[in-house]
Amino acid sequence: MRSVRGASAPDCGTRCCSVSPVHVVIMGCGRVGSTLARSLEDRNHTVSIIDADPDAFRRLGPGFNGDKVTGQGFDQEVLEKAGVRRADAFAAVSSGDNSNIIAARVAREAFGIQQVVARIYDPGRAEVYQRLGITTVATVKWTADQVLRRLLPAGAEPDFRDPSGTIRVDNLAAPTAWIGHRTVAFQEQAGCRIAWIDRLGEGMLPTRESVIQEGDVLHVAMREENAAHAYEVIDAGPDES
């Protein structure tokens, strides 16, 4: 992505990744848009935010330093005022599916922005535009999926499934039977991979010497066809033979 002129790299120590600051245009200054704008500024990126209602900009608070542009986010003149020609990314997160879809297409097709995300309430529409290359967030479906995963037993629904339905990623609290055992044994016996571990509020990548500890959350990737077998092994505990 292109770097933004005039923006300096954040001083955040060794934990900060070396990503150049970018300019993002956001359509919609509701709760999602305003939160996204502030989050981007906190990460040292520059932001222009568009909304048809100038009162909506109050959600940004007095500390917001980006551009506030009043108008329709699918209007090319409004997008020009928001600096769309120097933008690296565009997010359409207003409350209207049609407006978000149109704005996303204008940003991508008229201005050539590759990183485009549209918030869509109708999951059917979201799937169509996903196939057209516009990343969509289907709000209702996402929320329902998140609630469903928290209602059902572990493993009933994955936290992530790739578009082909072949690979799934599940989040598992460290199984009691596996605590104190090496991640290598867990992976070999269950036929899966631990992508990363959440431990004491930090993410860590397992090594050959890593041991599963109480309180760990394992992010486990596996083939869908192997999931039932993997959970049988996980529930049964390690084979010490």
Count of CA atoms in the C-beta half-sphere (13 A) of 76: 7
| Predicted pLDDT of residue 157 | 66
Q: DSSP strand E in 39-185: where?
A: 46-51, 67-70, 89-92, 115-120, 135-138, 160-161, 167-173
**Least confident among 144-158, 175-189, 197-211:** 144-158
pLDDT tens by residue, 122-174: 777 777 777 677 777 877 666 666 666 656 565 566 777 776 778 999 888 89
How confident is the model at residue 163, as a pLDDT? 66
pLDDT in tens, 44-102: 999 999 999 999 999 999 999 999 999 999 999 999 999 999 999 999 999 888 899 99
Contacts of residues 162-165 at CB distance under 8 Å and 24 or more positions apart, as own/partner, are 165/224
Average pLDDT over the chain, rounded to whole? 84
pLDDT > 70: percent of the chain? 83
pLDDT category, 2, cuts 50, 70, 90? very low
97-105 and 123-131 are packed helices; what angle lies between their axes, rounded to 10 degrees?
10
